[in-house]
Structure 1
Amino acid sequence: MRIAPIPPGTRPELAEQEAQIAAQRGRVSTLYQVLLNSPPMAHGWEQLLTAVRNRSTLPADLRELIIIRVAVLNGATYEYEAHVPIALKAGATEQKIAALRDPKRIGPGLGDMEQVLIELTDTMTTAIEVPAALYERVRGFLDERQTVDAMVTIGAYNMVSRFLVALEMSH
């Protein structure tokens, strides 16, 4: 890890912010301990990721499959290991998670909507530009708000994974 985490309770000026993070997340994870090296960034991060995780119109299992796929594509072990249990708790199956483990292809076992959204995840993560044909397939399953929620989830978790990988945070 390239930047040392700030252990909770060691800096009085961070106490309120740590309490807010713990209230949203249940604890102040290592990721947030590193982010607290920049309190404004930690605050903005928490606001965005709380909206993505708790205020999205996407079903939780689908959101988590997207997050796991981003982690796989970007080699973000920390993110992957953090979200597999969340995905399972949200109702994703081991088979669906296994379908995401190879960054070079999407494995079998996904439903039609899941397949399209993982294709969207792959495209936004690796190519960035989304071809019109893929966008139309996505819109065949999602309304405008759900489409925005899916794309923000993909973009936000690309931010997360790239931060984790750049700082060599593996667990």
Structure 2
Amino acid sequence: MRIAPIQPGSKPELAELEAVIIAQRGRVSPLYQVLLNSPPMAHGWEQLLTAVRNRNTLPAELRELVIIRVAVLNGATYEYEAHVPIALRAGATQEKINALGDPDKLGSGLSELEHTLITLTDAMTRNIKVPAELYKQVRSHLDERQIVDVMVTIGAYNMVSRFLVALEMGH
């Protein structure tokens, strides 16, 4: 890890922010301990990621499969290991999680919708642009809010994974 974490409770000026993080996440994880080096970033991060995780119209299983695929594509071990148990609790099978494990191809066991959303994840993560035909496929499954929610989820977790990998968290 390239930046030292701030131990919860060690800086009184962070107590209120730490309380918010604990209220939303149950603890101040190592990721948030690093983010506490910049309280405004930690606050904004917490707000965005709480919305992505808790106010999303995608079913939790779909959301977590997308997050896991982003982690696989970006080599974000910390993110992957954090979200596999969440995905399993949300109803994902180990077979579906395993289908996401190869950054060069998708394995079997995914539904048509899951395959479409993982293909969207791959496009947005690798190329940023979403081809018209792929968008049409996504649109055939999701309404406008769900499309915004899935695209924000993909974008947000690309931010997370890039931060984690750049700071060598999870090595």
Q: Where on the TM-score scale, by shorter chain, does this alignment land: which range? A: over 0.9
Give the CA deviation at 1:107: 0.6
Q: Show the counterpart of 1:33.
A: 33
> Whole-Å Cα distance in 1 between the matches of residues 92 and 28 of structure 2?
25
Moved over 3 A (4+): none
Q: Show the counterpart of 1:100.
A: 100
Q: SS of the residue aligned with 2:142? A: coil
* Identity rate, percent: 78
Q: Show the counterpart of 1:19.
A: 19
Q: Show the counterpart of 2:51.
A: 51
Give the CA deviation at 1:33: 0.2
What is the 5 A alignment of 1:39-78?
A: 39-78=39-78
Give the CA deviation at 1:141: 0.3
Deviations 1:45-66 (A, max 9, x none): 0000000000000000000000
Q: SS of the residue aligned with 1:140? A: helix
> Whole-Å Cα distance in 1 between the matches of residues 109 and 90 of structure 2?
17
What is the 5 A alignment of 1:140-151?
A: 140-151=140-151
Whichever residue aligns with residue 59 of structure 2, its letter is P
Deviations 1:75-124 (A, max 9, x none): 00000000000000000000000000000001110000000000000000
> Whole-Å Cα distance in 2 between the matches of residues 36 and 92 of structure 1?
32
- What TM-score, normalized to structure 2? 0.99
Q: Show the counterpart of 2:162.
A: 162
> Whole-Å Cα distance in 2 between the matches of residues 82 and 132 of structure 1?
33
Structure 2: gaps (5+ residues): none
Q: Show the counterpart of 1:3.
A: 3
> Whole-Å Cα distance in 2 between the matches of residues 28 and 121 of structure 1?
28
Structure 1: gaps (5+ residues): none
Whichever residue aligns with residue 170 of structure 2, its letter is S
**Alpha-carbon RMSD:** 0.5
Q: What count of residue pairs does the alignment treat as equivalent?
A: 171
What is the 5 A alignment of 1:119-134?
A: 119-134=119-134
Q: Show the counterpart of 2:91.
A: 91
> Whole-Å Cα distance in 2 between the matches of residues 22 and 31 of structure 1?
13
> Whole-Å Cα distance in 2 between the matches of residues 47 and 16 of structure 1?
14
> Whole-Å Cα distance in 2 between the matches of residues 16 and 150 of structure 1?
31
Q: Show the counterpart of 1:152.
A: 152
Give the CA deviation at 1:40: 0.2
